[in-house]
């Protein structure tokens, strides 16, 4: 899953106003950010195999440290602890929401991955396989994103035009990116996938941080 993860970020921000939306955008994609770094450094491995699933040509041959359930649990605890150290004055609850945002990545990925998500180490792999049904996968991404957006908009109010329209336009762009990923041509190289992913994750987080300043939690 890609943009559907941002629905969890929107939801978390609506529930806990003290955590910046930009931080939550990084949190929900933290394991993919680490995955891109581990791919570039050779710690984990992926191949481009067009047709491995109908909607995603990536064959995830080895990624237990970032996408194994035990790995994601560990990253979520570390993220919560790091946020608590950084913003200790806010208390424990915001840190728990950051950890939950990181953890949310795994069950959402479970919906779309095809029996390649390890439960422990690199073993006991699971996945419901929505990537074999492209339209269903896109609908799942859109539903997750839009439900989170709805809750965020319900719990916040705009400050000026940027707050009123910016988040909605940004979310529409995210959906367009998802459609391009699902139905566009396969990437040219694994390196391109990792670098483009890193650029997108941090760019989206920066935009979310800026737009979030134009809304306030009620």
Give the chain's radius of gyration (CA, Å): 17
Written as six digits, the tokens of 114 are 């095809």
Q: What is the pLDDT of residue 92?
A: 95
- 188 DSSP assignment: S
How confident is the model over 74-104, as pLDDT tens digits? 999 999 999 999 999 889 999 999 999 999 9
How confident is the model over 138-147, as pLDDT tens digits? 999 999 999 9
Written as six digits, the tokens of 53 are 């699933």
Rounded to whole angstroms, the Cα distance separating 46 from 52 reads 12
Helix (H, G, I), strand (E, B) or coil at 29: coil
Q: What is the pLDDT of residue 121?
A: 85
Q: State which H helix or E strand residue 47 sits in.
A: strand 45-48
What residues does 100 pair with on adjacent strands? none
Helix-helix angle 30-41:69-86, to 10 degrees: 110
Q: Are 203 and 151 in contact (CB under 8 A)?
A: no
How confident is the model over 25-55, as pLDDT tens digits? 999 999 999 999 999 999 999 999 998 998 8
pTM for the whole structure: 0.95
Four-point Cα dihedral 41, 72, 53, 114, nearest 10 = 140
Rounded to whole angstroms, the Cα distance separating 71 from 88 reads 25
């Amino acid at each position: 899953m890609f943009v559907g993860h941002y629905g969890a970020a929107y939801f978390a921000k609506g529930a806990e106003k003290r955590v910046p939306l930009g931080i939550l955008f990084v949190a929900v994609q933290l394991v993919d950010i680490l995955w891109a770094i581990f791919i570039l450094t050779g710690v984990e491995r992926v191949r481009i195999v067009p047709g491995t699933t109908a909607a995603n040509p990536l064959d995830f041959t080895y990624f237990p440290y970032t996408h194994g359930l035990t790995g994601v649990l560990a990253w979520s605890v570390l993220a919560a602890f790091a946020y608590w150290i950084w913003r200790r004055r806010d208390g424990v609850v915001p840190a728990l929401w950051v950890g939950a945002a990181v953890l949310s990545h795994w069950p959402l990925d479970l919906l779309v991955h095809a029996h390649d998500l390890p439960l422990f180490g690199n073993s006991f792999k699971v996945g419901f396989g929505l990537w074999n049904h492209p339209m269903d996968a896109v609908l799942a991404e859109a539903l997750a994103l839009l439900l989170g957006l709805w809750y965020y908009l319900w719990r916040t109010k705009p400050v000026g035009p940027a707050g009123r329209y910016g988040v909605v336009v940004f979310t529409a762009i995210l959906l367009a990116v998802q459609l391009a990923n699902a139905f566009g041509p396969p990437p040219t190289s694994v390196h391109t996938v990792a670098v483009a992913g890193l650029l997108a994750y941090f760019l989206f987080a920066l935009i979310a941080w800026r737009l979030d300043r134009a809304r306030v939690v009620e």
